[in-house]
Amino acid sequence: MTQLYKNFIDGAFAADATGLVDVFNPATGALLAQVPDSDESIVARAVEAARRAQPSWGRLAPIERAGYLRKISAKVRERRTELAKIIVAEQGKTQQLAQVEVDFTADYIDYMAEWARRLEGEVLTSDRSNENIFLFRKPIGVVAGILPWNFPFFLIARKLAPALITGNTIVIKPSEETPINAFEFAKLVAGTDLPKGVFNLVGGRGRSTGEALCANPNVDLITFTGSVATGSRIMQTAGRNLTRVNLELGGKAPAIVLADADLDLAAKAIYDSRVINTGQVCNCAERVYVERGAHEALVDRLAQHFKATRYGDPSVRDDLHMGPLVNQIGLDKVSALVEQAKRDGATIITGGKRADLEGFHYEPTLIVDARADMDIMRKEIFGPVLPIQVVEDLDEAIALSNDSEYGLTSSIFTSNINSAIHAARELNFGETYINREHFEAMQGFHAGRRKSGIGGADGKHGLYEFTETHVVYLQT
Ligand code: NAD
């Protein structure tokens, strides 16, 4: 019998649903479970529960809130293997990556809990000799967290942990593609003594449940990770109530490879970045600009990696580099971009078509002769496809990198420190990785420029996005 999940509202699993959303395994097409679709009234109940719970949660000492977070991370660790299997089945990532995601999630919750003794206000100097000015940081109130499917479990923590440690309460809506892990997370929370209403979970589709959550006037902050199109729509919905937004959107990360780079390192880092999560990662390299002198040697190395890629159903094999794409839409998008690149005159070195397997698999695809005007160099691919363009020098590479509607991450491979620093100064992106893989640290600040987002996540700066300032003038 298909497993049926229930919303988690006000500390209890609630039976009501306006319909059901089927969840499938992208590697096989098998039906895995059903989760509730939730309309405006169900969403409103969840938001009201969060609203009721917020004042007393916000008044708790941060160290007490940290204690609750640590109970949740301990539960995640207890069930780490089982949770990873669930993520593999519903999202299609490899077993190793799913395990990294679960473990990183627990570490991330603990990292945010550690901020309990570090949350700071400020004491400001006054223009008056008999006055003190205090700047308090306070919770914003009720947070709505809307999640994508690509790192579904970690993104729960990226929203929940900073929201809760700073005294907010939260309602989470997972992606309809990958909600099972979130409902399992709710079971973990239900097994702790977290006060009711502090964390709520509602299942459902974007246009119904997601939209209802964003339109609810009792939501004080919407923190969203997903596509540019949805981010733009959410901003419009939020605009009706002037609800604050924090948006982590798409990317089209450039990787610049100079002729003096360690090409083994560059090829491995860029290759890993294309196959990790089957290329469905917002900050991974999606376009390469290589100096002419290194082009052939880089392509040779990359081709060896691409040809050696093991892919298939990650639930049955534990030695894969990648699994399937998440759904038919993703597969169609990747196929269409590669077909267009072929028509535009690009050359396929490896792959270039759907894999001959059940499920939504696409062959690892290496493309050369790409040009700046091609869609494959401008649009987010979100699949295991890497287009390469030759450039004459670093300044051309920087100019092409910056000429994008996206501005999330970027990278450069060079053995010349001056070139690296010059690139770091000139690249107009939220993050730049020098001679390393595309992957951020939890103490950093993950934030996109241009259409890649508004605000950011992680570290001190991400944490304070969940607070409001209150300035108090005390005249004595
Ligand atoms: P998506 O925008 O299709 O969906 C994301 C979430 O928004 C889902 O939960 C969906 O149900 C919901 N939604 C859809 N329409 C809505 C609406 N009108 N109102 C409210 N909610 C709505 O994105 P996706 O396909 O799940 O995720 C892939 C995208 O996410 C890629 O573009 C990727 O680059 C981006 N992403 C960005 C980051 C980052 O940190 N910047 C991280 C991961 C993924």
pLDDT in tens, the chain (476 residues): 689 999 999 999 998 889 999 999 988 889 999 999 999 999 999 999 999 999 999 999 999 999 999 999 999 999 999 999 999 999 999 999 999 999 999 999 999 999 999 999 999 999 999 999 999 999 999 999 999 999 999 999 999 999 999 999 999 999 999 999 999 999 999 999 999 999 999 999 999 999 999 999 999 999 999 999 999 999 999 999 999 999 999 999 999 999 999 999 999 999 999 999 999 999 999 999 999 999 999 999 999 999 999 999 998 999 999 999 999 999 999 999 999 999 999 999 999 999 999 889 999 999 999 999 999 999 999 999 999 999 999 999 999 999 999 999 999 999 999 999 999 999 999 999 999 999 999 999 999 999 999 999 999 999 999 999 999 999 99
Q: Pull the structure tokens for residue 157.
A: 């923590």
**Both tokens of residue 234?**
């959410």
Question: In a mutational test of the pocket of ligand 1, which residue from 91, 150, 201, 332 has the highest number of ligand atoms less than 8 Å from its CB?
Answer: 150
- The ligand 1 atom nearest the CA atom of 226: 30
Cβ pair 139, 470 in contact under 8 A: no
Would you state the pLDDT for residue 141?
A: 98
| β-strands 253-257, 347-350 pairing | unpaired
Can you say whether the dihedral through the CA atoms of 3, 7, 10, 15 is positive or negative?
negative
Prediction ipTM score: 0.96
Q: Which residues contact 22 (CB under 8 A, 6 or more apart)?
A: 31, 34
pLDDT given at position 2: 81
- For 404: left if phi > 0, alpha if psi spans -120 to 50, otherwise beta; the answer is beta
Nearest to 170 by CA among 227, 224, 208, 207: 224
CB 204 within 8 A of CB 36: yes
- CA–CA distance, 426 with 442 (Å, rounded to integer): 24
Phi then psi dihedrals of residue 345, to 5 deg: 105, 10
Q: How far is the CA of 117 from the centre of ligand 1 (A)?
A: 33
Please name the residue that has the structure tokens 């500390």.
11
Nearest CA to ligand 1 atom 20: 210
Residue 16 pLDDT = 84
The β-bridge relationship of strands 456-457 and 446-447 is antiparallel
Q: Which residues are catalytic?
A: 248
Ligand 1 centroid to residue 23 C-alpha, Å: 17
- Which secondary-structure segment (H or E) carries 33? strand 31-37
pTM comes to 0.95
Cα(369)–Cα(365) distance, integer angstroms:
13
- Position 67 scores a pLDDT of 98
CA of 468 to the centre of ligand 1 (A): 25
- Amino acid 391: pLDDT: 98
Asked whether the beta carbons of 297 and 263 are under 8 A apart, the reply is yes
